[in-house]
Chains A and B, each alone.
Chain A
């Protein structure tokens, strides 16, 4: 973590995170923030429900959405992104 991030630690609610999802080349955010330390299993469950119900703005409803093989990256808040981010994206060919 760089110096800027260290400075922000005291200023940002470190317990919450926004969830950004990439699904089928579309991108959107969960409407609600989640606990930054929520387990991968919980995050997968929330986003699967959200995409299957069409409640993620920017991602079309997909009743068969399956995130079981997706990668979940976690990024702590920075000076330029003042909130924690959980990013969900497809797996790459290399892992």
Chain B
């Protein structure tokens, strides 16, 4: 029985890395995966039947199938080959790196690793951790101490320098993204707060509707429109009239208003036209009275009738 017979009878299996898709490639041979695909990227054993491969299950890594093996540095899931040149800018670094798949857990930053491919055009697969060249530990310290360059570290290769700059960029990018997220959250909270306030303040008509069921909320919102702070209210002796106390510019005032229309019945301050003797109180509402008081105060014409102590 020749090895060709074994292949024909489906008795041949291979171990291969798989990172996605239905094609398996090793050197110049290609198989199509029939049936189930693995649930996640990893090393698997496949049964070969002609040009088809069938998943048998997980397998231990077999680095013998990796070709074109190179050494370099790992930054996240990017591989910076030792042939990398001194980068001028981040774009240059990124162009010289490849994504490396199936990296072992626990491989630290600036680890010197080897990686290869199962075919000329296949994905780059992690092979193993290699012996460090010397300055890697100091470069890691420089990063942890927040330095922007490794000019002070001796014997740093261009590849290690490139890896360091990528890590610095990643670190800054993490901070930038975190700040961006915080800014968005803050903006969203501010928007919600404004909506809630606007909802609470409502319109003139909404406040009158509110007054029918909740006078305090309506009075509070009406006074807030022009910057006054509601303090308390109580029913007046007059029918459907409320006495309202409020604070404006650190002074307390009291007025009387209609409990439903919020129309002022007694402003608590002098709004009498001294020429005609006509009272102007009922021209105003809880929304506009604070503005009148401010004007009177500004012009030195404020006379308070209802004193509050």
Q: Which residues of A contact B (CB under 8 A)?
A: 11-12, 20-22, 24-29, 56-59, 71, 73, 75, 78, 80-83, 85, 87, 89-90, 92-95
Contacts and interface: CB of A to CB of B under 8 A. Distances in A.
| Best-buried of B190, B271, B272, B287 by chain A (most CB within 10 Å) | B287
Given A27-B204, A29-B204, A85-B225, A95 B197 contact: no
A95 B204 contact: no
Nearest to B280: A93
Given A25-B285, A93-B278, 12 more contacts: A20-B288, A22-B287, A25-B263, A25-B283, A58-B205, A81-B224, A81-B225, A89-B291, A89-B292, A92-B292, A94-B295, A95-B295
B287 A58 contact: no
B68 interface: no
B44 interface: no
Given A26-B263, A82-B197, A20 B225 contact: yes
A47 B190 CA distance: 31
A24 B204 CA distance: 14
B103 interface: no
Interface in B252-290: 261-264, 270-274, 278, 280, 282-288
17 contacts: A12-B194, A20-B204, A26-B285, A27-B207, A57-B204, A73-B226, A73-B295, A75-B227, A80-B224, A81-B227, A82-B197, A85-B226, A87-B225, A90-B283, A90-B288, A92-B296, A93-B273
Contacts of B207: 27
A81 B224 CA distance: 7
A89 to B, nearest CB: 4
Contacts, number: 109
B201 A81 contact: yes
Nearest to B264: A25
Nearest to B202: A29
A11 B287 CA distance: 25
A74 B291 CA distance: 10
B299 interface: yes
Given A25-B261, A81-B227, A92 B295 contact: yes
B197 A81 contact: yes
A56 B288 CA distance: 16
A22 B204 CA distance: 9
Contacts of B271: 92-93
A42 to B, nearest CB: 20
A83 B198 contact: yes
Contacts of A11: 187, 190, 194
